[in-house]
């Protein structure tokens, strides 16, 4: 049961007294007629709508932690709060119910929750939309959580194709020979140390009627495991490096969910994938890589591999004459150090379409954006003495110089999201689990839904 602080008739006097005497709590537990009753207090007049919705998600997650061990699959909710807060509560509860136990000897089936809501304040289609988005987040989390001895580049591409085809997305996987034909020099260089071949996955979702004349392209970094290559990571630096394909998981999940939601928008997904390992033939610091656009890259650190493979995908995106290109990548420790798990580092060209809409989507989903600049001065830090650019820029502005590197391979509206901070967590954080979180999926889908609604309004008003 949800309580908004003003419907006192829902509570008995002793229950109300207990709540008012401990107003620091959000969730209260009572027994009534031998049935468990949870009172969730979400009211707070000092907070904005987005803050209240996030508080509702966190209450949903807290509620789930209270009941998750009791085998509950059906939850009755009596709600007297605004629809958006109720939806957010359900969202937080659903997202918190995630579990990854494939490799447990005694594994439990994933929870399937049924909501019985009174009064009927939510429409079935709203819960269905919420469920599709949740499943997309779970798909991304599952991919990130898989160990690299299971999920190499071929397996990642295969799973994306299976799930994408099921949702109505056309998926094509380029093999190493095709990648060589396309002269994807960055992907081939990083892959030189691997015994497994690279892949380049192309996804396309294009329904019969679309709102955009040119596609929006989503690019995802797909490094299935990153040892650092010949500049090998030290200490415990490799423990979580199965997560370095978090951008690929996010990009794939976005297209799959958009198709399941039947959004009237033309989307492309591009996912370059390999592992980054040292071997006798691995690329090394000092190598010069000639990229497909003719620019020469001086490799100063083989652990800056993500930008090398993303460059190929950004160049390939040009063939679509895109309306906008958006990349997601667990790209830099500098981004994670700057803002932690609390947001996503974003960089964008001034002509990036719908930037304000993206920022609003970030606030609405609470996957908030922190914009870093792409000033020309940062480009000076990656000028090479022996080539055109180098793949690292030194200790200053590491997240920004990575963005400046990528900018060299774009000549269209473009947004770069560095999700290194929130993509993989050491411990649970509200409705985000330890391990893969699916960072960016909800924000991107909020943007696409808003974009479709906005276009629909313009069309109606023009008649």
CA angle, 402 as apex, 400 and 408 as ends, to 5°? Answer: 105
Going from the C-alpha of 183 to that of each of 176, 304, 315, 386, 434, the distances in angstroms are 10, 20, 11, 22, 38
Q: Tell me which of 7, 170, 206, 233 is the catalytic residue.
A: 233
Find out whether 431 and 96 touch, Cβ atoms under 8 Å: yes
Structure tokens at 408: 């060299």
Chain-centre distance for alpha carbon 238: 21
Known active-site residue 233: yes
Is residue 307 part of the annotated active site? The answer reads: yes
d(CA 401, CA 406): 9
Which residues contact residue 53 at a Cβ distance below 8 angstroms, ignoring those fewer than 6 apart? 84, 85, 88, 364, 366
- Catalytic one of 55, 57, 277, 307: 307
Q: Are 353 and 442 in contact (CB under 8 A)?
A: no
Task: Name the residues annotated as catalytic.
Answer: 233, 307
């Amino acid at each position: 049961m949800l309580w908004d602080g003003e419907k006192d008739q829902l509570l008995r006097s002793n229950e109300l007294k207990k709540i008012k005497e401990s107003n620091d709590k959000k969730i209260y537990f009572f027994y009534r007629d031998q049935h468990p009753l949870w009172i969730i207090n979400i009211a707070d007049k000092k907070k904005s709508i987005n803050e209240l919705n996030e508080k509702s998600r966190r209450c949903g997650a807290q509620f789930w932690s209270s009941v998750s061990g009791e085998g509950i699959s059906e939850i009755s909710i009596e709600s007297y709060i605004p629809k958006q807060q109720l939806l957010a509560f359900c969202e937080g509860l659903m997202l918190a119910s995630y579990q990854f136990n494939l490799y447990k000897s005694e594994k439990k089936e994933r929870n399937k929750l049924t909501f019985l809501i009174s009064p009927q304040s939510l429409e079935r289609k709203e819960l269905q939309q919420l469920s599709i988005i949740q499943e997309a987040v779970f798909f991304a989390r599952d991919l990130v959580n898989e160990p690299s001895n299971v999920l190499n580049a071929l397996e990642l591409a295969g799973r994306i194709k299976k799930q994408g085809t099921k949702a109505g997305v056309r998926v094509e996987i380029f093999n190493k020979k095709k990648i060589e034909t396309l002269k994807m020099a960055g992907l081939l260089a990083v892959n030189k140390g691997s015994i497994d071949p690279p892949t380049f996955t192309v996804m396309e979702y294009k329904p019969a009627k679309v709102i955009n004349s040119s596609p929006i392209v989503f690019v995802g970094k797909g490094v299935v495991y990153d040892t650092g290559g010949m500049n090998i990571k030290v200490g415990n630096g490799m423990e979580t490096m199965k997560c370095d394909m978090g951008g690929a998981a996010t990009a794939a999940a976005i297209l799959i969910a958009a198709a399941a939601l039947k959004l009237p928008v033309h989307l492309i997904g591009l996912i370059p994938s390999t592992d980054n390992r040292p071997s006798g033939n691995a690329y090394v610091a000092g190598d010069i890589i000639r990229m497909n656009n003719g620019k020469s890259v001086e490799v100063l650190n083989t652990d800056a591999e993500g930008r090398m493979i993303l460059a190929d995908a950004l160049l390939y995106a040009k063939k679509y004459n895109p309306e906008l290109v958006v990349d997601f990548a667990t790209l830099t420790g500098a981004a994670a150090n700057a803002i932690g798990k609390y947001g996503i580092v974003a960089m964008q060209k001034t002509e990036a379409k719908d930037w304000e809409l993206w920022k609003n989507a970030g606030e609405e989903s609470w996957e908030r954006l922190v914009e870093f600049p792409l000033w020309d001065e940062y480009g000076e830090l990656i000028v090479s003495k022996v080539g055109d650019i180098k793949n690292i820029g030194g200790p200053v502005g590491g997240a920004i110089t990575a963005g400046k590197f990528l900018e060299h391979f774009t000549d269209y509206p473009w947004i770069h999201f560095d999700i290194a901070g929130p993509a993989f967590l050491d411990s649970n954080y509200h409705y985000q689990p330890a391990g893969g979180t699916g960072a960016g999926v909800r924000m991107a889908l909020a943007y696409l839904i808003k974009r479709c609604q906005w276009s629909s309004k313009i069309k109606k008003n023009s008649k």
